[in-house]
Amino acid sequence: MGKTQEKAIKDFISEAEEILESLSEDVEQAYEQFEKTSKIRPDLVNKIFREMHSLKGLASMLSLEKITTVSHDMESLLDRVRMGKTKFTKEIFSILDETKKILRNLVVDVGKGQEKTDPLPLLNRIASALGSEPAKQKQTKKTLKLTEETLKSLTEYEEHRLKENLEEGNKIYGIKVGFDFSDFDTRLRALTEVLNNNGEVISTLPLVEPSLPEGIHFRLLFGTQLDFEAVEALVASANGMVENLLETKEVLEEDKKETSAKVEKREQIEEEIGEPLKDDEIKSLSEESEDIKGISNSVKVDIAKLDEVMGLVGELGIIKTSFKKIAENISGRSDLEDIHRDMSRHLRSMEKKLEDLQRSIIDIRMVPIGQIFSKLNRTARRIARGFGKEISIEMFGGETELDKRIMDELVTPLVHIIRNAIDHGIETSSERLKIGKPVEGLLSISAFHRGNAIVIEVTDDGRGLDYEKIKEAAIKKGIIAEGISLSPEDCLELIFQPGFSSSDKVTEVSGRGVGLDVVKTTVEKLKGSVSIWTEKGKGTTFQIVLPITLAIIQSLIVKCANQHFAIPISSIIESFKIKESDIEYVDQKEVYNLRGITLPILRLEKRFDLKGEEEQKENDTLFVVVAKRGDRAAGIVVDDLMGEQETVIHPIGKRLGGLPGIAGATEVGENQVILVIDTGSLLAPIEAVRV
């Protein structure tokens, strides 16, 4: 087994353990609900179903046939239960209990490289349960005020849950809520949890109405026993609007027995399973017999703790540099020759250990980008539904790893790009049919490594970007003046301007000034770049290039006006020496002829208004560092290049943190703190050339 396969198995075992732990908790909760009410909340059934589905997906990726088969068959049984085609019974609980044990043993087998567990008896039990008679559906007498469009949007499962709520005498409410794009997923999830604790959220649909304020909006169908005022109180924090969707408020009266709730519950369960229960029978169903501890050797670590450790490693590196200088200072002294030799030997050993430690910590911070692929998939489909478009989604390179902190920051720009691709790129089904394209638009998201960088591409097969339309929209928004001449590349740059939108209409996810400027700003903050390729009628690709990690970066130390600065190597194309007389002027701006390319020049001392003591420069020698901003570049003029060094970037507080051109600070020697250059914001005012 190769290292890649070994790592994949370890990752699987770790994730499978989490799923099985969650499954055990949820099944336990289901037992408790069944014992108290002879029913199980639909959202809990769904959660158990999703856990089984997730485990099946993980196992199938590694071709683990036994785990895939067991989880698939159990998923099918749970699907029948959640659709109301099979009732939850004592037998199904027993099957679930055995399934947990078998799956755990199968995961242990995978970790040990053995095949001891036989799932065949369990599979036979599941097959037998799948062949049981479907539960009879009751008929409802109630009428709902729902539009035909809303009814068509409901899935088969949501229709089933709606009928069940009506049969149970629940009131059905329509709840309209709107959120800001930045945190809508968190706030919607919190509201859904509150509602589910007081009833059932039957459906959540995107809401498209031109009159709605800025943000993203949803309409929730909610079934509950609560009255109108109580539901209003539940959604008050979300500023939601509540509407009673029942035309009649009748509640079917049920005969109530005068026995205690405990006796009634027991009789209901006995009637359900067709046989009397022993005193401790239900309780025994909910007990876990297996000890899941020890399946995986993995532990979760807060990324902030890793940041702290990395900072300590950086400080050790500074101490190492100080010792190196001491060793250099005593070099050549005969009376200290033995000390110098010993110190040099220990320094070499310390240097190697520090490199190993840095590499290990960086490796710990790395996570597969596939962790956010499923979220992007769901988001894309939700956005597509909002626009009434049909799309097919492909994802490649989910195993590609990058720094956890970078991945978290990357979610927002990717969502914006996906939204842009679906809104402006992919045509409607009717439009695609007319031009001979498949009915479903194709959205592809891929990730791969390129050297010390990670590349993420989002591609659609839509209409492509229209340069003239972009230019017209920019003029209309006041971003550029009329009559200005722009190249195709310059037109594409306009879509990253704040407030830019070429949308002809305002919807819940476009046309309100929330645009791709967020993408460029965030990516450049992460020391990355974003580029676009487009072809009319064929589609568009957004490419994001990012460093694999920001924990420790290689920097070029430069000197300017007797001060030192660090420029991340990842943002440097090249550096070279010139004379003052080599600098030319075009339109009163300094430039340098770099192999036929007119390279704009930025003097660091002027940009930061540095006033150091005048230095005697040999033959008016200057150094130019060609730095990039996205796919464009300019030359930064400095006095000297001091060499490369590994650096850890530290924040510098709110007062200085917002200054253009400054990314943070780093230590390069004993008590020597220097500023780290952010080439993205430093070069922003410069008309950089494309490279």
Element (H, E) at 347: helix 337-365
252: left (phi over 0), alpha (psi -120 to 50) or beta: beta
535: left (phi over 0), alpha (psi -120 to 50) or beta: beta
Looking at every residue in the chain, the average pLDDT score rounds to 79
Residue 276 has a pLDDT of 54
- For the segment 172-194, the average pLDDT, to the nearest whole number, is 85
pLDDT in tens, 357-387: 877 777 777 888 887 887 788 788 888 888 8
Sheet with 563-568: strands ordered across: 640-647, 553-560, 563-568, 672-677, 662-669
pLDDT grade for 653, boundaries at 50, 70 and 90: low
Q: Name the more confident of 547 and 321.
A: 547
- For the segment 478-503, the average pLDDT, to the nearest whole number, is 79
> Whose structure tokens read 């997923």?
185
Residue 4 has a pLDDT of 67
Residue 445 has a pLDDT of 95
Out of 21-25, 442-446, 670-674, which region has the weakest mean confidence (pLDDT)? 670-674
Q: Name the more confident of 507 and 374.
A: 374
pTM greater than 0.85 = no
Residue 94 has pLDDT above 90, yes or no: no
pLDDT grade for 255, boundaries at 50, 70 and 90: very low
pLDDT in tens, 560-588: 988 999 998 888 889 999 999 999 998 88
Residue 266 has pLDDT above 60, yes or no: no
Cα of 22 vs its chain's centroid, Å: 21
pLDDT in tens, 203-221: 888 887 777 777 888 888 9
CATH architecture entry for 148-244: 2-Layer Sandwich (3.30)
- For the segment 487-513, the average pLDDT, to the nearest whole number, is 63
Residue 592 has a pLDDT of 93
Residue 133 has a pLDDT of 47
Residue 260 has a pLDDT of 46
Residue 138 has pLDDT above 50, yes or no: no
pLDDT in tens, 269-283: 455 545 554 444 433
- For the segment 26-54, the average pLDDT, to the nearest whole number, is 84
Residue 635 has a pLDDT of 93
pLDDT grade for 247, boundaries at 50, 70 and 90: low
Residue 548 has a pLDDT of 79
Q: Name the more confident of 217 and 691.
A: 217
Residue 259 has pLDDT above 60, yes or no: no
Residue 500 has pLDDT above 80, yes or no: no
Assigned fold of 3-136+260-285: Four Helix Bundle (Hemerythrin (Met), subunit A) (1.20.120)
pLDDT in tens, 585-641: 988 889 999 998 899 999 998 888 887 655 555 557 899 999 887 667 899 999 999
Q: Where are the beta strands (DSSP E) in 375-435?
A: 391-396, 401-403
Contact 422, 445 (CB under 8 A): no
Q: What is the dihedral of CA 66, 282, 272, 34, to 10 degrees?
A: -80
Give residue 386's identity as a one-letter amino acid code: G
Contact 548, 454 (CB under 8 A): yes
Residue 515 has pLDDT above 80, yes or no: no
Q: Where are the beta strands (DSSP E) in 181-318?
A: 200-206, 216-224, 241-244
Residue 362 has a pLDDT of 75
Query: 371-408 burial by CB neighbour count: b if 16+ within 10 A, else e?
Result: ebbeebbebbebbbbbbebebebebebbebbbbbbbbe
Element (H, E) at 488: helix 488-494
> Whose structure tokens read 């920001």?
550
Highest mean pLDDT among 13-22, 148-157, 395-404, 428-437: 428-437
Element (H, E) at 540: strand 539-547
- Do strands 584-586 and 572-579 pair parallel, antiparallel, or not at all (unpaired)? unpaired
Separation of alpha carbons 464 and 443, rounded Å = 13
Residue 531 has a pLDDT of 87
Residue 63 has a pLDDT of 79
DSSP assigned state of 115:
-
- For the segment 541-559, the average pLDDT, to the nearest whole number, is 85
What tokens appear for 685 in the block? 């005012």
Residue 2 has a pLDDT of 66
Residue 270 has a pLDDT of 53
Residue 427 has pLDDT above 70, yes or no: yes
Q: Name the more confident of 578 and 314.
A: 578
pLDDT grade for 673, boundaries at 50, 70 and 90: confident
Question: On the CB side of 392, how many CA atoms lie within 13 Å of its CA?
Answer: 9
pLDDT grade for 437, boundaries at 50, 70 and 90: very high
Q: How far is CA 373 from CA 239, 539, 661, in A?
A: 31, 21, 33
Residue 288 has pLDDT above 50, yes or no: no
CATH class of 553-690: mainly beta
DSSP assigned state of 246:
B
Residue 257 has a pLDDT of 36
> Percent of the chain, pLDDT > 90?
15
Q: Name the more confident of 631 and 463.
A: 463
Q: Where are the domains of the chain?
A: 3-136+260-285, 148-244, 303-366, 369-547, 553-690
Residue 258 has pLDDT above 50, yes or no: no
Backbone angles phi, psi at 119, to 5 degrees: -90, 0
Alpha helices of 181-288 — where are they, by DSSP H? Answer: 184-196, 228-234, 261-273, 281-285
Give residue 260's identity as a one-letter amino acid code: S
Q: Name the more confident of 340 and 655.
A: 340
- For the segment 91-110, the average pLDDT, to the nearest whole number, is 89
User: Which of 18, 93, 98, 31 lies closest to 58 in space, CA to CA?
Assistant: 18
Separation of alpha carbons 491 and 466, rounded Å = 9
Out of 198-202, 289-293, 477-481, which region has the weakest mean confidence (pLDDT)? 289-293
Q: What homologous superfamily does CATH list for 369-547?
A: Histidine kinase-like ATPase, C-terminal domain (3.30.565.10)
Separation of alpha carbons 235 and 197, rounded Å = 13
Residue 306 has pLDDT above 80, yes or no: no
Residue 79 has pLDDT above 90, yes or no: no
